[in-house]
C-alpha cells in the first residue's frame, strides 16, 4: 500500500475484476448518504483533478444513473447505467456502460460495514473486458475513495 493512500487496500483478482477496501472515519449512514444524492456525488466522485459536471441519478432499484466525469485535460468520460440493488445503509449494486461503448459493461457492488463508529467500504467491480479504462480503475477508485473520505469528514 502506498503512503499516499494509507487507508485503502486493493487486490486484483482475475484481470477483469478489482476489489478495494477503505476505512473511512465517519458513521455508516453518513457515508452511505454521500452516494445517494447528486449534490453529494458531484463534490467527491472521480479521481483527483476530475470533476463531475453531469450527474443524474434515480437512487432506487431499477433507477437510472448517468455521469460525465471530466478529466484535468478537459476530456469527458461518460458512464450510464442502472441501480440493481440498494439496501440502506449496507449495499449498492449498479451496472453500467463505460464511455458509451455498449459492449463495455461494468458491474459494481459497494458495501458499507460499521466498525467502531467508522465505515469500511468495499468496492468490487467486474468488467466485460479489459481496457485502458479498467486498467486504470484501481488507482482511480483509490483516489475517489480518498475524496469521499475527505467529503464525509467535513460532513
The residue with cell 479489459 is 130
All structural domains of the chain with their residue ranges: 8-154
Measuring CA to CA, how many Å separate 47 from each of 8, 27, 38, 52? Answer: 14, 23, 17, 10
The structure's pTM equals 0.86
- Strands 76-87 and 17-24, bridge-based pairing: unpaired
C-alpha cell at 86: 440498494
- Judge: domain 8-154, CATH 3.30.530.20: yes
Q: Is the separation of the CB atoms in 60 and 37 below 8 Å?
A: no
Q: How confident is the model at residue 111 (pLDDT cuts 50, 70, 90)?
A: very high
DSSP assignments along 3-58, one per residue: TT-TTEEEEE-STTEEEEEEEESS-HHHHHHHTT-HHHHTTT-SSTT-EEEEEEE-
With 80 as the cut, is the pLDDT of residue 11 above it? no
30-87 pLDDT, tens digit per residue, is: 999 999 999 999 999 999 999 999 999 999 999 999 999 999 999 998 999 999 999 9
- The CA-CA-CA angle for residues 110, 114, 115, to 5°, reads 120
Amino acid at each position: 500500500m502506498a503512503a499516499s493512500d494509507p487507508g485503502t487496500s486493493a487486490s486484483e483478482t482475475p484481470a477483469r475484476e478489482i476489489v478495494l477496501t477503505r476505512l473511512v472515519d465517519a458513521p455508516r449512514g453518513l457515508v452511505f448518504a454521500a452516494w445517494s444524492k447528486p449534490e453529494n456525488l458531484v463534490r467527491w466522485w472521480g479521481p483527483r483533478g476530475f470533476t463531475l459536471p453531469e450527474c443524474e441519478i434515480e437512487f432506487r432499484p431499477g433507477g437510472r444513473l448517468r455521469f460525465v466525469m471530466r478529466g484535468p485535460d478537459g476530456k469527458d468520460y461518460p458512464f450510464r447505467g442502472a441501480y440493481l440493488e440498494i439496501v440502506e445503509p449496507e449495499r449498492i449494486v449498479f451496472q453500467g456502460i463505460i464511455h458509451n461503448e455498449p459492449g463495455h459493461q461494468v458491474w459494481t457492488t459497494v458495501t458499507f460495514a460499521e466498525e467502531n463508529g467508522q465505515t469500511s467500504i468495499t468496492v468490487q467491480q467486474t468488467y466485460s473486458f479489459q481496457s485502458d479504462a479498467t486498467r486504470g480503475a484501481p488507482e482511480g477508485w483509490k483516489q475517489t475513495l480518498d475524496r469521499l473520505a475527505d467529503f464525509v469528514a467535513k460532513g
